[in-house]
Structure 1
Amino acid sequence: LLVSTVSRPFSYTVPLTYFPMRTEVWSLDGQVVKAVMSRALTERVPWGGDGALPGPRNIQWRRDADATLAWVEALDGGDSRVAAAKRDRLLLLGAPFTGTPTTLMETAWRAAGITWGHGTLAVVRENATRERRTRAWLVDPSGASAPRQLWERNSEDRYADPGDFITTRDARGQTVLFTSPDRKVAFLTGAGASPEGDRPFVDRFELATGKSTRLFQSAAPYYEQPIGMLDARGTVALTRRESKTDVPNYYVRDLVRRIAPRALTAFTDPAPQFAGVTSQLITYTRKDGVKLSATVYLPPGYDKAKDGPLPFFLWAYPLEYRSREAASQVVGSPYRFVRPTGASHLFLLTQGYGVMDNPTMPIVGADGKEPNDSYVEQLTTSAQAAVDTIVAMGIADREKIGVGGHSYGAFMTANLLAHTRLFKAGIARSGAYNRTLTPFGFQGEERSYWEAPELYETMSPFTYANRIKDPILLIHGMADNNTGTYPLQSERMYQALKGNGATVRYVQLPGESHGYAARESVGHTLAEMTAWLDQFVKAGKRATMQ
């Protein structure tokens, strides 16, 4: 048995993963056979996107062999700011665990994962997070041949993503790489991102040459996602197919004969009340030339010619990028079967609102600058482009548009209300508003507060609480354990807004963490969101400062 034990002293500063911990191999009668790792409380860790804990980490059993340990150790002490030719090494140690570990591979970047195949085949991945680079290697665990690089690419480039290797369960129930019986061929599957939207695929991958052959790709009017292989040769696949009007169901698809797929399930619409909702994947451009995308939903029975522009609600979440090209790539598919669950903003479609879902809000670092150096400017120009687009389409009333988001999307919402008058109201759920309370970085920001104090202040909507003139609804789970979004964030933001005379309401959800699970909480959240937008967006009332 591989056993990890957490011990005192427990910390109120860092999460469980940094508590004192030891990992051991036990016999089935509870005797310690091998002490693999013992780590003291770690309250100061190497910072940055490529930082790692020193010593053994990610300790696991090797999936394709009996009683063999595998783990990773940092060669740079876990500090990516230290110059080093190699960052990590992957180690193996077999039973009876008394010998010296052997090195499977050393990586120039931070080791990101390993997929075991069989005695002479494994796939190792390594990432350089800051540079947005990723590599994959073909490795022979027996040591008979040197690692061979499969690819190196920009991790932000969705269009060029070769996909992930398909895995399967072996006779022992272990998840291993799926290969052909002669072990010469593996299979890749991925999102198949393109300017037309995501088109999932299956590729046949020759391990000796690296040559890929496309066996299947989803085509309009369907979104069909490969799930796994159903035969040993990789000629028959299990897929999950849907369309705008077809409920997702599972199918058997022959990848060789290309005959019509055979349905395995016959699930029905779980929410037929939404059957009349229409959706459209749209693309548009912000003023600096970065291309954006979003999915627009319109309520059942809506007729633009007869009904005119609708009150609208935008729900978004910003992401950081290192290149304009990656930021401009289309996200999503126009052929998904969408039904809301939980406290989804899409329930507003039943209340006469149009919804602009996931309008991309890329924050791009260019010309040697970090993405967040121009966060506010890029955020506001993306929002302006989104609003202008739906107004130009004739479906949205410019005077009746609200904005909202969850977590980093809530942070976005408060910033948009602080720096623009584009929206008549905002809804911010489980957000962070004062970045000095997350001083060791946040989201994709790797600089600490002490390295960039002006940035932390400028990006914090708390700093500009006195400028928020439009109504904002704050909702937060009282047991939020996300280290970046403790309830204190909403409590202090509410006090700042209230003290400056803003129109604000703060809703606390007892017992809820970062996401809301209880039926009572979900219903309460939806009721609060609808009432807030009905009062300040649909009615077209401009809040007045008190």
Structure 2
Amino acid sequence: MRVDGKYNARSRMSFYTGIAIHKLMPDDTLGPEKEIHGFPDGAKINFVTWSIDGKHLSFSVRFDEENGSSSKLRVWVADVETGKARPLFQSADIYLNAVFDNFVWVDNSSLLVCTIPSSRGDPPTKPLVPSGPKIQSNEQKNVVQVRTFQDLLKDEYDEDLFDYYATSQLVLASLDGAVKEIGPPALYTSIDPSPDQKYLLISSIHRPYSFIVPCGRFPKKVEVWTSDGKFVRELCDLPLAEDIPIAFNSVRKGMRSINWRADKPSTLYWAETQDEGDARVEVSPRDIIYTQPAEPLEGEQPEILHKLDLRYGCIAWCDDSLALVYESWYKTRRTRTWVISPGAKDATPRILFDRSSEDVYSDPGSPMMRRTLAGTYVIAKVKKENDGSTYVLLNGNGATPEGNIPFLDLFDINAGSKERIWESDKEKYYESVVALMCDQNEGDLHLDQLKVLTSKESKNENTQYFIQSWPDKKACQITSFPHPYPQLASLQKEMIRYQRKDGVQLTATLYLPPGYDPSKEGPLSCLVWSYPGEFKSKDAAGQVRGSPNEFAGIGPTSPLLWLTRRFAILSGPTIPIIGEGDEEANDK
């Protein structure tokens, strides 16, 4: 982690200079642009967030002072109907602390904000002389390898600086101006309201710190509070985790991945390792997923939701009859997806997909999620007329030997059959499904009323967005963004294929400057931009990733900037390091 002390936020933050809103009309066109106004000229905007009901926006604002210094971040809100923006806090002395979490809507009229404590004072000064010798003690019986990390704390002065900049005071602020401090100042890393807005899941870190592992392994406390700041219970207080084994898939001991169920008002779930976090230990099950109400009855124990033999990844929730559980194992590149029925204790979990994570050609896609009225996201179920089956939408990259051809499949979760209901253009364009646009109401979606947001681009045409509607699959363009760098609009792009000496089929993307004519300019200097990748098989290493029709996006650190200097760019040539069987690629 790197902290910018001027802003009291993560360093190297980009920013927006303005916000505009378009209403999506019934005919799938965009209404007139409404510009958010009221913030200072030269404002730098970050962390734009919608309220749950979509009637307000919240965001942070900073700007350069007249003396050339930069201001700290303040929280602003805007009324979507009028477009008028204003500071959330009436006091100009309340600043945002965005080192970890920043702010979140608790309900439609109030936000929970991480603020800089008003009593903080000046930053600590570095001692002119050391307070004593630097002592490191290893009292563990076993030698534990630790990976090399960047940006670690180095001494006691760094610890004091970390405390100074990362400590927040949580403030509950209403749109009507009411302000209430809740909880003591602490290093809060996550603030997460329950879907029913009655509870808060609060995570924080505390001393003792470490000079050999990053802050994500510092002692961590997770608590449940009421939404107005009253302590309910402590879920865990994990000790410093300097002993996580270096083996892939090793994790921290104790509770991890603690979250709210997206389909329930206030139910928690988490995973606990059964192998002491050491991936080298053979044990079954390896992980257990538990669930429990935010405020359980006296004596009510956590309920086992599912047991896994690989390492737990995440859960996509739908309802009591359907959830998808993901697990994986890096050493074998195995990934599995389970179908479970969270509300039916007698239902037997079953494996839906069991495949290699390296085999992109076999990737079935991910379920599309729909937004609930509580602001959470759950798996979208789809109904077909006169059909009682349970369908979900699988949105995939569609990797093929010719390049990615994204798709949308209607998938029968019980039968395992699928129907391709949409696919990207294969010849000139690269299209993909971005989000559902027909989830305004609760309940299952109807296939003949399906509406999705798609993107469309080509080698030389920048991304535009469309609304695609069923049953006729009519596409209505809703954006007309200008080309971001017209000087390079006619650059030349080609996917090339070649074979390594060991027979592995490889690919790369070749970019040539606009108007390049080899007969006139001759050979060009070529910049090769790549990084090795690890694979378990030659077949996986040779699979094509990406599309020849994707737009050539150029960022501030992109190698494509060298096209302006008449360089050829060979981007992403595959450099596979293959470790088959029990071999590890890094050992070769």
Shorter chain as normaliser: what TM range? 0.5 to 0.7
Structure 1 CA distance, aligned partners of 2:470 and 2:555?
A: 33
Q: Deviations over 1:176-227 (max 9, x none)?
A: 1111257811111111111101111111111121111111111221100101
Asked if the contact 2:382/2:391 (under 8 Å) is kept, the reply is: yes
Asked if the contact 1:23/1:38 (under 8 Å) is kept, the reply is: yes
Structure 1 CA distance, aligned partners of 2:453 and 2:519?
A: 43
Structure 1 CA distance, aligned partners of 2:411 and 2:259?
A: 27
Q: Deviations over 1:470-515 (max 9, x none)?
A: xxxxxxxxxxxxxxxxxxxxxxxxxxxxxxxxxxxxxxxxxxxxxx
Tell me the amino acid that sits aligned with residue 233 of structure 1. H
Aligned to 2:457: 242
Tell me the amino acid that sits aligned with residue 399 of structure 2. A
- Of 216, 221, 225, 2:422 maps to 216
- TM-score, normalised to structure 2, is 0.62
Asked if the contact 1:349/1:355 (under 8 Å) is kept, the reply is: yes
Q: Which moved more, 1:244-253 or 1:65-74?
A: 244-253
Structure 2 CA distance, aligned partners of 1:297 and 1:209?
A: 45
- Of 430, 433, 441, 1:226 maps to 433
Paired residues, what number? 373
**Secondary structure, aligned partner of 2:502:** coil
Asked if the contact 2:460/2:490 (under 8 Å) is kept, the reply is: no
Deviating 4+ runs (over 3 angstroms): none
**Secondary structure, aligned partner of 2:540:** helix
**Secondary structure, aligned partner of 1:47:** coil
1:391-540 alignment, distance < 5 Å: none
Structure 2 CA distance, aligned partners of 1:281 and 1:264?
A: 30
Structure 1 CA distance, aligned partners of 2:547 and 2:229?
A: 52
1:40, distance to aligned residue in structure 2 (A): 1.2
Asked if the contact 1:60/1:69 (under 8 Å) is kept, the reply is: yes
1:233, distance to aligned residue in structure 2 (A): 2.1
Asked if the contact 1:274/1:339 (under 8 Å) is kept, the reply is: no
Higher strand share: 2
**Secondary structure, aligned partner of 1:180:** strand
1:29, distance to aligned residue in structure 2 (A): 4.0
Q: Deviations over 1:395-421 (max 9, x none)?
A: xxxxxxxxxxxxxxxxxxxxxxxxxxx
Aligned to 2:516: 302
Tell me the amino acid that sits aligned with residue 77 of structure 1. E
Asked if the contact 1:34/1:97 (under 8 Å) is kept, the reply is: no
Asked if the contact 2:370/2:379 (under 8 Å) is kept, the reply is: yes
Asked if the contact 1:65/1:119 (under 8 Å) is kept, the reply is: no
1:43, distance to aligned residue in structure 2 (A): 1.1
Q: Does 1:141 align with 2:342?
A: yes
1:248, distance to aligned residue in structure 2 (A): 0.6
Aligned to 1:188: 394
**Secondary structure, aligned partner of 1:346:** helix
Aligned to 1:15: 214
Structure 2 CA distance, aligned partners of 1:158 and 1:202?
A: 16
Asked if the contact 1:215/1:255 (under 8 Å) is kept, the reply is: no
Aligned to 1:253: 468
1:318-333 alignment, distance < 5 Å: 318-333=532-547
Structure 2 CA distance, aligned partners of 1:169 and 1:345?
A: 38
1:276-425 alignment, distance < 5 Å: 276-366=490-580, 368-374=582-588
Aligned to 2:413: 207
Q: Deviations over 1:144-186 (max 9, x none)?
A: 4121210100110011111111112111110111112578111
Structure 2 CA distance, aligned partners of 1:115 and 1:309?
A: 52
User: Residue 175 and residue 209 in structure 1: after superposition, are their counterparts in 2 closer, same or farther (change >3 A)?
Assistant: same
- Of 345, 361, 364, 1:162 maps to 364
Aligned to 2:251: 52
Tell me the amino acid that sits aligned with residue 176 of structure 1. V
1:49-88 alignment, distance < 5 Å: 49-88=248-287
1:68, distance to aligned residue in structure 2 (A): 0.6
Asked if the contact 2:460/2:491 (under 8 Å) is kept, the reply is: no
Structure 1 CA distance, aligned partners of 2:423 and 2:207?
A: 52
Q: Deviations over 1:364-399 (max 9, x none)?
A: 11364322343xxxxxxxxxxxxxxxxxxxxxxxxx
Q: Deviations over 1:330-366 (max 9, x none)?
A: 1211111113121211111010111001111111113
Structure 1 CA distance, aligned partners of 2:512 and 2:269?
A: 52
Asked if the contact 2:392/2:410 (under 8 Å) is kept, the reply is: yes
Asked if the contact 1:243/1:337 (under 8 Å) is kept, the reply is: yes
1:230, distance to aligned residue in structure 2 (A): 2.3
User: Residue 238 and residue 29 in structure 1: after superposition, are their counterparts in 2 closer, same or farther (change >3 A)?
Assistant: closer
**Secondary structure, aligned partner of 2:531:** coil
1:276, distance to aligned residue in structure 2 (A): 1.9
1:72, distance to aligned residue in structure 2 (A): 0.4
Structure 1 CA distance, aligned partners of 2:489 and 2:230?
A: 60
The runs of 5 or more residues in structure 1 that have no matched partner are: 375-546
Structure 2 CA distance, aligned partners of 1:153 and 1:42?
A: 32
**Secondary structure, aligned partner of 1:310:** coil
**Secondary structure, aligned partner of 1:266:** coil
Higher helix share: 1
Asked if the contact 1:283/1:330 (under 8 Å) is kept, the reply is: no
Asked if the contact 2:389/2:412 (under 8 Å) is kept, the reply is: no
User: Residue 95 and residue 371 in structure 1: after superposition, are their counterparts in 2 closer, same or farther (change >3 A)?
Assistant: closer
Aligned to 1:264: 478
Q: Deviations over 1:258-282 (max 9, x none)?
A: 44x2101111101100012110011
Tell me the amino acid that sits aligned with residue 315 of structure 2. I
User: Residue 368 and residue 63 in structure 1: after superposition, are their counterparts in 2 closer, same or farther (change >3 A)?
Assistant: closer
Structure 2 CA distance, aligned partners of 1:368 and 1:94?
A: 42
Structure 1 CA distance, aligned partners of 2:225 and 2:218?
A: 21
Structure 2 CA distance, aligned partners of 1:366 and 1:96?
A: 49
Structure 1 CA distance, aligned partners of 2:499 and 2:274?
A: 44
**Secondary structure, aligned partner of 2:342:** coil
Asked if the contact 1:323/1:364 (under 8 Å) is kept, the reply is: yes
**Secondary structure, aligned partner of 1:115:** strand
Structure 2 CA distance, aligned partners of 1:23 and 1:339?
A: 40
Asked if the contact 2:393/2:409 (under 8 Å) is kept, the reply is: yes
Q: Does 1:106 align with 2:320?
A: no
1:22, distance to aligned residue in structure 2 (A): 1.0
Aligned to 2:353: 151
Q: Which structure has more RCO (C-alpha within 8 Å, separation ≥ 6)?
A: 1
Asked if the contact 2:536/2:581 (under 8 Å) is kept, the reply is: no
- TM-score, normalised to structure 1, is 0.66
Q: Deviations over 1:303-333 (max 9, x none)?
A: 1222221111100011100000000001211
**Secondary structure, aligned partner of 1:325:** helix
Q: Does 1:177 align with 2:379?
A: yes
Structure 2 CA distance, aligned partners of 1:110 and 1:298?
A: 44
Q: Percent identity of the aligned residues?
A: 38
